[in-house]
Structure 1
Amino acid sequence: MKILIARMNHETNTFSPVPTPLEAFGREGPCYGDDAYRENAGLRTAMSAFIDAAQREQAEIVTPISASANPSGRVAAAAYDAICRSIVDAAAGCDAVMLDLHGAMVAENSPDGEGDLLERVRRALPHAPIAVSLDLHANVTQKMIDNADVITSFKTYPHVDMYESGEHAARLLLDLIHDRAKPVIAWAQPPLLTHTLRSSTAEGAMKRAVDAARAAESEPGVLAVSVLSGFSLADIAAPCASVVVVADGERMRAQQVADRIAMQIWNQRDGFVYRSAPLAQSIREGAALARNTTRPILLLDHGDNCMSGGTCDTTDAFEEALKQGLEGIVVGPLCDPEAVAKLFAACEGATVSVSIGNKLASVASRGKPPLDVTGIVRALTDGQYIISGPTYTGQRAYMGRAAVLETSAARILVTERTHEPWDLGVFESVGIDPRGARFLILKSRMYCRPVFVPISGGLVECDSRGVTSSDYALFTFANLKRPVFPLDLSAEY
């Protein structure tokens, strides 16, 4: 048996000004062939699980590409075409396909990146079974459903079960190949734009929905149930919540389960809506928490969150913290290649005045000048480190060149690339012990929590009204199918 295994991951924020060329998919672009295999073998991605499953089958493995980029703006047409072409061109002669996809990719030439790819793969291999593992924040489309035999998704956010989702999809595909099961897919999609901060699987309506999915998987004939919160910062027809069910030969049974859980989600739709407090109030709350602990207080700047397509260069939260007199701040990573170049030119130990941030035209920074700061250059590095986990455990991370500027109130980590603070190594790699901070201002919603919450004395969510803000009124949706909740309170399902 010859199995095609590939990875194409990108969550597209169509409101983000951060470009997504081919070079964004990896350190200097995607990995191909044997390098794509090595990038995933033995790790914890869905593609890693596909490789392990294929090896247990003693199958011939074809890995044309592994392409994963941080969330950002629309994928460049040339990049999308190159990634798709790599996968489709490798399909000839393959008996099965396993794809590690995000599910919320929008390219300049495709509003449905994954659906269009799957359609092309199906056309190239009309009789080969196709299994797909999706991110929990996938925007599912009919074209995805029509061109896959098996679909599973993560059941955790923060995502710590990527491997398990791939393992599940691979198992069902092999059951199909060996005539142990006949997977069929059904889905349901209520008109609901969820907020990412309400898609945590540890609490609330999302936890109840995922619990219902897990329970349904124990019902006779139900092989997999996935609850996908969707990614609403994509101006497409339906960036909405979905339920995807795989059943053994009974499409009606699959549809009944999908409809039942989708109705549960709709009936609890208020639980998927997040309302931000004013930024100044959030910073005051953080200052109050700090009076009762010696451990760092997390100030999560989710309005400029890297892993939702943020520019990572808005300074609103940092400026408000300085305005309120907070000290002992560690902030970052702030993405500003121009400032990094100036700090590298000055060398370590030098006192430098530099303008940081507000250089990309996002919601928050439009027309706002950069923040002028003066401090001592404390570290200059290549910005690389190994992620300790639990997310992307063992992978090498690249922040671009990184510099630390120390002022009287703060240590500022400035990088050439947008980067999610999902590991203590973000700071430890540049000589900062985050445990010693009084306040950690992180451009993150959720990924930082598994590693930073355990060292903290409290957490406050701060909405800087950047390009990943929870305030949908900041964004103009031109392609969204209306009515949809919560933009339209009269929406029905």
Structure 2
Amino acid sequence: MKILIARMNHETNTFSPVATPLDAFGRNGPCYGEDAYRENKGMRTAMSAFIDAARHEGAQIVTPISASANPSGPVAAAAYDAICNAIVDAASGCDAVMLDLHGAMVAENSNDGEGDLLERVRAALPEAPIAVSLDLHANVTQKMIDNADVIVSFKTYPHVDMYESGEHAARLLFDRVHGRARPVIAWSQPPLLTHTLRSTTAEGAMKRAVEAASAAERDGMLAVSVLSGFSLADIEAPCISVVVVGDGDREAAQRVAKRIAQQIWDERDAFVYRSEPLADSVAKGAALARDTDKPVLLLDHGDNCMSGGTCDTMDVFVEALKQGLDGMVTGPLCDPEAVAALYAAGVGATVTLYVGNKLAGNAASPRPPVRLTGTVRALTDGEYIISGPTYTGQRAFMGRAAVLDTGAAQVLVTERTHEPWDLGVFESVGIDPRGARFLILKSRMYCRPVFVPIAGALVECDSRGVTSSDYGLFEFGKLKRPVYPLDADTAW
């Protein structure tokens, strides 16, 4: 058996000004062929699970590409075409396909990045079974449903089951190949824009929806996925979905999809997050710091790296300075110009420079860069190995990194946008985050498995950047209306 295995991951924020060329996918672009295999073998991605399952079957494995980029603006047309062409061109002669996809890609030449890819793969291999692993934040489309035989998404956010979702999808594909199951797909999509901060699977309505999905699997469905969608995409329906893989009985699968979707719709207000004023959030953090000797996390979810943030919005830091906070560690702040200046000055130099607020596209009115004076404490290549639990073992690339010590804060400035996945973000530049009084992180969820255990408290802060939870800041032109919560009287 010859199996095509590939990875194409990008969550597209169509409101983000951060460009997404081909070299954004990886350190300097995607990995191809044997390099794509090596990048994933032994890791905890869905593609890793596909490789392990195919090896167990004794299959010949074809890995044309592994392409994963941080969330950002629409993918450049040339980049999208290059990735898709690599996958489709490798399809000839393959007996099955397993694709590790995000599910929320928008390109300059495609509003349905995964659906258009799957349509091309299906045309190239009309009879071959196709299994897909999706991110929990995928925006499911009819084209994706029509051109896949198996779809399984993550069941955790923060995502710590990427490998397990791939393992599940692979198992169902081989069950079909060996005649042990007849996978059929059904789905349901209420007109509901969820907020990412309400898609955590540890609590609330999302937890209850995922529990209902797991119960349906125990009751006989082959796979049941709740995909909260990614609403910061101006497409027809960036909405929550329920996808069910049944065993030969599509009508039964459709009943399950509709039932769980109805449960979600009945609790729709629980999927909506409403931010408090930023000054109130920072003041709350200051008060909490008086009762703990551990760091207080100030999470800047309005400029969240993993939702396409610019990572240079300075609102939270400026408000913290205004309120007299000290002992701060903040970053990574993306400002290549500032990094160059700090490198030119050298370690130990005292410098004055302007940092942040340089990339156009803030959802609120533009703000000027912030003038900072401090001492350069460290200069590094910005690389480290992620210890987990997300992307365990992978090498991370922040671009060149520099630390500016202003007295009140240690500011980590990098050339690339970067999620604080790991303590290594700071430890790699000589900062011990455990010693901070306040940690200002541009993150919503991915930092939590690592930073919450070392913290004394956590406060969510909305800087009104391009990942703000205030949908009123964004102009949706392609979105199908009515949709909740933009339209309070939406019926379904």
Please report the TM-score for the alignment, with normalisation by the length of structure 1.
Answer: 0.99
**Is 1:7 equivalent to 2:7 in the alignment?**
yes
1:49 & 1:404 partners in 2: Cα distance?
37
1:125-179, Cα deviation, whole Å (9 max, x unpaired): 0000000000000000000000000000000000000000000000000000000
User: Which position in structure 2 is the counterpart of 1:32?
Assistant: 32
1:16 & 1:365 partners in 2: Cα distance?
13
**Is 1:240 equivalent to 2:219 in the alignment?**
no
User: Which position in structure 2 is the counterpart of 1:389?
Assistant: 388
Equivalenced residue count is 492
1:301-340, Cα deviation, whole Å (9 max, x unpaired): 0000000000000000000000000000000000000000
1:364 Cα deviation from its structure 2 partner: 4.7
User: Which position in structure 2 is the counterpart of 1:339?
Assistant: 338
Residues 329-478 of structure 1 aligned to structure 2 (within 5 Å): 329-364=328-363, 366-478=365-477
| Structure 1 letter corresponding to 2:416 | R
| Structure 2 letter corresponding to 1:352 | V
- Kindly report structure 1 stretches of 4+ aligned residues shifted beyond 4 Å: none
2:37 & 2:262 partners in 1: Cα distance?
41
2:197 & 2:292 partners in 1: Cα distance?
25
1:224 & 1:305 partners in 2: Cα distance?
31
User: Which position in structure 1 is the counterpart of 2:131?
Assistant: 131
1:386 Cα deviation from its structure 2 partner: 0.1
1:367 Cα deviation from its structure 2 partner: 3.2
CA RMSD of aligned residues (A): 0.6
C-alpha spacing 1:341/1:75, structure 2 compared with 1 (3 Å): same
Structure 1 counterpart SS, 2:71? coil
User: Which position in structure 1 is the counterpart of 2:314?
Assistant: 315
User: Which position in structure 1 is the counterpart of 2:488?
Assistant: 489
1:373 & 1:359 partners in 2: Cα distance?
14
Structure 1 counterpart SS, 2:361? coil
1:9 & 1:52 partners in 2: Cα distance?
19
User: Which position in structure 1 is the counterpart of 2:121?
Assistant: 121
CA contact (8 A) 2:313 2:362 kept: no
1:423-462, Cα deviation, whole Å (9 max, x unpaired): 0000000000000000000000000000000000000000
Query: Percent identity between the aligned chains?
Result: 81
CA contact (8 A) 1:364 1:464 kept: no
CA contact (8 A) 1:235 1:480 kept: yes
1:262 & 1:397 partners in 2: Cα distance?
37
User: Which position in structure 1 is the counterpart of 2:216?
Assistant: 216
Structure 2 counterpart SS, 1:217? helix
CA contact (8 A) 1:314 1:365 kept: no
CA contact (8 A) 1:295 1:436 kept: yes
Residues 164-175 of structure 1 aligned to structure 2 (within 5 Å): 164-175=164-175
2:214 & 2:482 partners in 1: Cα distance?
30
2:62 & 2:337 partners in 1: Cα distance?
41
Structure 2, unaligned runs of 5 or more: none
CA contact (8 A) 2:134 2:153 kept: yes
CA contact (8 A) 1:67 1:83 kept: yes
| Structure 2 letter corresponding to 1:254 | A
1:338-366, Cα deviation, whole Å (9 max, x unpaired): 00000000010000111000111122575
Structure 2 counterpart SS, 1:283? helix
User: Which position in structure 2 is the counterpart of 1:55?
Assistant: 55
1:387 & 1:166 partners in 2: Cα distance?
20
2:371 & 2:284 partners in 1: Cα distance?
26
CA contact (8 A) 2:18 2:72 kept: yes
1:369 Cα deviation from its structure 2 partner: 1.0
1:164-215, Cα deviation, whole Å (9 max, x unpaired): 0000000000000000000000000000000000000000000000000000
| Structure 1 letter corresponding to 2:450 | V
1:392-450, Cα deviation, whole Å (9 max, x unpaired): 00000000000000011000000000000010000000000000000000000000000
